[in-house]
Amino acid sequence: MLEIGRFNELTVVKQLPRGLQLDGGEAGEILLPKQYVTEEMEIGEPVKVFIYRDSEERLIATTQTPLAQVGDFAYLNIVDESPVGAFLDWGLPKDILVPFSEQSNRLEKGRKTLVRIYLDDKDRLTASTMLDTFLYDTDDTDFFSNGDQVQLVIAGKTDLGTKVIINGVYWGLIYESDIFQDLSRGDKMPGYIQRVRPDKKLEVSLQKPGFTRIEPLAQTVLDKLKDTEDGFIALSDKSEPQKIKREFSCSKNSFKQAIGSLYKQKMIRIEKEGIYLVKD
- Spatial neighbors of 38 by CB under 8 A, at least 6 apart, are 63
Q: How far is CA 177 from CA 174, 204, 214, 249, 255, in A?
A: 8, 12, 17, 11, 14
Residue 137: predicted pLDDT: 74
| pLDDT (tens digit per residue) in 248-258 | 988 888 899 88
Within this chain, domains 7-62 and 149-205 share the same CATH topology: yes
Q: What kind of fold does domain 211-277 have according to CATH?
A: Arc Repressor Mutant, subunit A (1.10.10)
Residue 41: predicted pLDDT: 96
The residue ranges of every structural domain in the chain are 7-62, 73-133, 149-205, 211-277
Stretches where the chain sits below pLDDT 70 are 139, 210-214, 280
Reported CATH class of domain 7-62: mainly beta
Residue 212: predicted pLDDT: 56
Q: How far is CA 42 from CA 38, 63, 171, 256, in A?
A: 9, 15, 45, 61
**Second-level CATH architecture of 149-205:** Beta Barrel (2.40)
Looking at 2.40.50.140, 3.40.190.10, 1.20.120.140, 3.40.50.300, the CATH number of the domain 73-133 comes to: 2.40.50.140
Residue 177: predicted pLDDT: 81
